[in-house]
Amino acid sequence: MKILIVGSGGREHAIAFAAAKSPKVEKMYCAPGNAGIAALAECVPIGAMEFEKLAAFAEEKSIDLTIVGMDDPLVGGLVDVFEAKGLRVFGPRKNAAILEGSKAFSKELMKKYGIPTAAYTTVHSAAEAREVLAGSKFPVVLKADGLALGKGVLICQTPEEAEAGVVEIMEDKKFGAAGNAMVIEEFMTGREVSVLSFCDGKTIRPMTSAQDHKRAGDGDTGLNTGGMGTFSPSPFYTEEVDEFCKKNIYQKTVDAMTAEGRPFVGIIFFGLMLTADGPKVLEYNCRFGDPEAQVVLPRMENDMIEVMEACVDGKLSDIDLKFTNDACVCVVLASEGYPVSYKKGFPIKGLSAFEGRKDAFVFHAGTKMGENGEILTNGGRVLGVSALGRTLVEARANAYKAAELISFDNKYFRHDIGKAIDEA
Ligand code: AMP
Ligand code: GLY
């Protein structure tokens, strides 16, 4: 098979790494890819939002399966463009990707179908927001309706903070049209767990659990980021939690989407909070998490391409997912100053230490090839270093040891990824 992966981050590198293990794959392309993905796939300079160019490329190269890694092209309808041309593609259509693309939609869906989530109100103007906030308990959570690079969620402790949030999201339109509507939500407390799942429109197969660390600094301090590190499995995702979610959340979500005439084919990412009242959905995403994919895919025993094809063909019920019994921890190596401002273009040393290893991997996020063939930093999140271990504690020690092998100017990382597992 010839496959094309759409995207350029650590998640897409992890997808390419899993695809490369499939005996079905003869040739792999990635658009636009990065310097790490280039070791596994031929990178082509087409952007993820250039739908017509991507489809023309897939036609020209007779691509057998395209895998869309990123949220923007999915929410924008890349899958529909491919399907209209008879091209095989893994990912939800636009009318299903709305599960991530509109928080107002996903909240309404959960309410209508009795899927546990925080109580909320959707508003369409700043005046309406102020009216709702006047009667709200604090803290309160404000969420821009649309995609906002993971930054459209504000937790407001006081009415003054909420007022500033309303101005930012709905009046100043900091997140553009994403702020035309806003969800005002009850604040919940509890541990967060991510569960990714494969779906074929009818059947859902949850993968193993993972947990992200979103804040930039140790001890969950500092600004929200795309994710500074992950571990899998989560010891807090017990059998009891799993049973509850299987009964009340996973299949119900898939059935709800089908009932709405929006069958979901692809990955549903369930962002869950384990509250005192039981697990509740914080958010849905319509793609693999980044950096969740970097700890979940290395533990997957199935041929990922076979599973994706089963999704596209509506035959997921034939597949049982299998994950290894070991654990995986990913530490993100970022550029000092991320997520605000940072320098790039520094040479990265130590990457060759990972060649051929089966217990530790480097997934490139923001890197590029320099003029002399050296690999340079090219983003806020530069690399994700993932390591396996028999236990989470061992995997964490291995990941930090592996992270030491890499050096570049302004290297920054959190020192406490997976530390919470000591409490389990
Ligand atoms: P989201 O993009 O919806 O996952 O929100 C980003 C982060 O905000 C989540 O990972 C949570 O840490 C936090 N968050 C979102 N909604 C709530 C809520 N209702 N209560 C408490 N924290 C929340
Ligand atoms: N790691 C969170 C996300 O991918 O949205």
378 inside domain = yes
Residues 77-106, mean pLDDT to the nearest whole number? 98
Looking at the predicted structure, is the pLDDT value of residue 224 above 90?
Answer: no
Same domain for 181 and 195, yes or no, is: no
299 inside domain = yes
For ligand 2, the distance from its centroid to the CA atom of residue 153, given in whole angstroms, is: 13
Q: Which of 75, 285, 417 to mutate to test the pocket of ligand 2 (most atoms within 8 A of CB)?
A: 285
* 231-279 pLDDT per residue, tens: 999 999 999 999 999 999 999 999 999 999 999 999 999 999 999 999 9
Q: Please tell me the pTM assigned to this model.
A: 0.97
Same domain for 275 and 392, yes or no, is: no
For ligand 1, the distance from its centroid to the CA atom of residue 248, given in whole angstroms, is: 20
Q: Which of 318, 348, 378 is the last residue of a domain?
A: 318
Q: What gap in Å lies between CA 71 and CA 103, rounded to an integer?
A: 14
Asked whether 244 lines ligand 1 (CB < 6 A), one says no
Q: Is there a contact between 378 and 366 (Cβ–Cβ < 8 Å)?
A: yes
Give every CB contact of residue 391 below 8 A, 6+ residues apart in sequence. 326, 327
312 inside domain = yes
Same domain for 273 and 390, yes or no, is: no
Ligand 1 atom nearest to 152, measured from its CA: 2
Token look-up 């529909």 returns 80
CATH number, residue 12 = 3.40.50.20
Q: Which of 35, 59, 93 is the last residue of a domain?
A: 93
Same domain for 208 and 307, yes or no, is: yes
216 inside domain = yes
107 inside domain = no
Closest C-alpha residue for ligand 1 atom 18: 187
In this structure, the number of other CB atoms found within 10 A of the CB of residue 236 comes to 18
Task: HSE, CB side, 13 Å, CA atoms: give it for residue 55.
Answer: 17
Same domain for 299 and 368, yes or no, is: no
For ligand 1, the distance from its centroid to the CA atom of residue 157, given in whole angstroms, is: 14
Looking at the predicted structure, is the pLDDT value of residue 80 above 90?
Answer: yes
Q: What gap in Å lies between CA 272 and CA 265, rounded to an integer?
A: 20
Ligand number with the minimum distance to the CA of 189: 1
For the CA atoms of 379, 419, 270, 232, the dihedral, rounded to the nearest 10 degrees, stands at: 90
Q: What gap in Å lies between CA 283 and CA 143, rounded to an integer?
A: 11
* 325-335 pLDDT per residue, tens: 999 999 999 99
* 296-329 pLDDT per residue, tens: 999 999 999 999 999 999 999 999 999 999 999 9
Range of the domain at 172: 119-186
Q: What gap in Å lies between CA 287 and CA 311, rounded to an integer?
A: 14
For ligand 1, the distance from its centroid to the CA atom of residue 79, given in whole angstroms, is: 28
For ligand 2, the distance from its centroid to the CA atom of residue 227, given in whole angstroms, is: 6
